[in-house]
Amino acid sequence: AQRVTQPEKLLSVFKGAPVELKCNYSYSGSPELFWYVQYSRQRLQLLLRHISRESIKGFTADLNKGETSFHLKKPFAQEEDSAMYYCALMNTGFQKLVFGTGTRLLVSP
Amino acid sequence: NAGVTQTPKFQVLKTGQSMTLQCAQDMNHNSMYWYRQDPGMGLRLIYYSASEGTTDKGEVPNGYNVSRLNKREFSLRLESAAPSQTSVYFCASGTDLRSGELFFGEGSRLTVL
């Protein structure tokens, strides 16, 4: 069965520090992975997907099939990055999106 | 465009009462979903609908029913609410089941006493 693990419930960093939000997955097929973000009082929204290999708001994420990981990184955190971040895996067999438990990122001034 | 609209935003129920959460999308999406969000458990899929006229169970369907009324609307019904159903409920839509980009509503906070 597919599973997404986000080991940290809370990650607290200072402004300007590097950030890495961890995501590990288990899936026997070829995964499609995503990061979603929920800012305070806003809707949950897609941040980025591994297929596009893009950088959004300074965030990047690389799919590492050997380590079954899809960690989200940003070299210099900003206060406005404070939010709840969810890693998600598309189960291409059942065509459903499975979410991890989420990591709350808190960036302090 | 409003995107995905959910009502009500807040609701308090007594154990055993019933209620329906309404969801509508104006993006002409085929697939629609209901998730619940609980602390420490993330988002869990309750039911989904691939297209108008079809619905399927997700990860945690017990105690819920759904109706895909038309392409725009997808409702979630609690027939006999239980305290374990206290949660924040999110409706979402996507172009189709293969799309990993879902568009979410603002959420409905439900408390069952």
CB pairs under 8 A between A and B: 50
Distance from CA of B90 to the nearest CA of A (A): 9
Question: Who contacts B40 (Cβ-Cβ below 8 Å, separation ≥6)?
Answer: A9, A101
Distance of residue B11 Cα from the nearest chain A Cα, in angstroms:
18
Q: Which residues of A touch B97 (CB under 8 A)?
A: 95-96
What tokens were used for B108?
A: 């409905």
Please give, rounded to a whole number of angstroms, the shortest distance from the CA of B37 to a CA of chain A. Answer: 9
> Which of A16, A4, A6, A25 minimizes the C-alpha distance to A84?
A6
113 residues of chain B, pLDDT tens digit each: 679 999 999 999 999 999 999 999 999 999 999 999 998 888 999 999 999 989 999 999 999 999 998 999 999 999 999 999 999 999 999 987 777 889 999 999 999 99
What are A52-90's pLDDT values in tens digits?
A: 778 889 999 988 888 999 999 999 999 999 999 999 998
- Nearest Cα to Cα of residue B100 among A87, A64, A61: A87
Residues paired with A46 in a beta bridge: A36
- Cross-chain residue pair A88–B106, CB shorter than 8 Å: no
Note the pLDDT tens digit of each residue in B28-39.
999 999 999 998
Chain B residues in contact with A101 (beta carbon < 8 A): 40-42
Which of A:37-96 have CB within 8 Å of B?
A: 43-46, 49, 86, 88, 90, 92, 95-96
